[in-house]
Amino acid sequence: MTPETSNEADQEPYKQELLEQHRTLLERRRKAANMNIQLQTRLAEYFRRKRADAVDAAHSNVDSLASSVVDTGADYNARFSKYITTLSEMQDRFMNQKKLILQEISNLKRLCDEKSDEAERTFAGMADFIENQGKEAISYKSGRPLPIEYYKAQREMLLKKNSAVTKVRLENIKLQRQVEKINAAFKSHDLSEGLHLIDFEQMKIENQTYNEKIEERNEETGKLRRKITNTVQMMTHTNEKLQACQAENFLLRDQLNLWTRKLNDSRDTLTKLKQSRDALKNNYALLQRTSGLMSHLEMLRGYEETVDEVETKKREIASMKQQAHSFLAKAKFYEDKVCGTKRKLETTKARNIFP
């Protein structure tokens, strides 16, 4: 909560007390006005009777006054000169006072213009500050920047309300000045002899009308003040959210910088790993070109199986060759045996034929 909001909250009970006193004084004033009307009626009747008595007394004293006028006629020239001198002095005093008053009015207008310009600049600066702060705001839910149109609308609404409050205050001041003039007129008429009752009633009605207008303006001013208070509270709450979002944004920026540094380090490491990978790929390709079947596992496995089968076949061929040699030896042995048997048979036959 800002100091202005806290001051307004502290002054609110005081304002309510003043309003209550104002209502009480208005009620007392109304009763006093009614009593004044009754007294004015009695005074009017009294002065009417007194004038009638004075007219009768004047008729009775006409003769005595005529003789005194003749005696006082010689003093008219001296009195006239004295009055002319007094009138000249009064005119000089009036002109001097008029100059002073005009100079004071000019100074007050200049001071008022300076204060108004300063207030407008301050208010515009505050609106610009709120709008600039809104441009840097980030939503704590989505993490995205808040729409600046919202702050622009709030700024325009605040400017409009300030302008409306200024106009209402000026109107209220004018009405208060009129009420003061009317009250002064009431007092002057009350002090004068024979105030006419119709004028008094008319001025009373006008005074009541002005009082009603003042009350309406006061109510409107109170509404505008409440709206401004709500707007200020809302802007304060928004400012607090903005500050929280800014603090969170600072933390996120620190984390982002940390992760950025880690990412840069990881990129350097990744570049080195890629270079190592390329070197290994080149070495692997060179080894594939120079290793022959070493890089083809299936062909190597097939070659090994073929070699094993060839060795097996060789062993089988060698075994079959040994068996063939054994069979050939047996065949030759049996052939030699058969030849011997044949020769024995032929010898036997020859012996039998030639004993």
Question: Does 242 have pLDDT greater than 60?
Answer: yes
Question: Does 196 have pLDDT greater than 60?
Answer: no
263 phi, psi to nearest 5 deg: -65, -40
Coil vs helix vs strand at 147:
coil
What's the rounded mean pLDDT across residues 190-205?
Answer: 59
Q: Which residue has the higher pLDDT, 195 or 111?
A: 111
Coil vs helix vs strand at 145:
strand
The pLDDT > 70 percentage for the chain reads: 70
In whole angstroms, give the CA distance from residue 134 to residue 139: 11
In whole angstroms, give the CA distance from residue 229 to residue 236: 10
DSSP 8-state assignment for residue 146: P
CA 353 to chain centre: 151
pLDDT value of residue 69: 41
Q: Please state which of the ranges 63-77, 173-187, 277-291 shows the lowest mean pLDDT.
A: 63-77
Question: Does 304 have pLDDT greater than 60?
Answer: yes
Quick one: 224 exposed, middle or buried, by C-beta within 10 A (0-12, 13-18, 19+)?
A: middle
Q: Which residue has the higher pLDDT, 66 or 266?
A: 266
In whole angstroms, give the CA distance from residue 144 to residue 309: 74
What's the rounded mean pLDDT across residues 302-317?
Answer: 86
Q: Which residue has the higher pLDDT, 124 or 230?
A: 230
pLDDT value of residue 258: 92
What's the rounded mean pLDDT across residues 188-208?
Answer: 61
Is pTM beyond 0.75 here?
Answer: no
Terminal C-alpha separation, the chain: 162
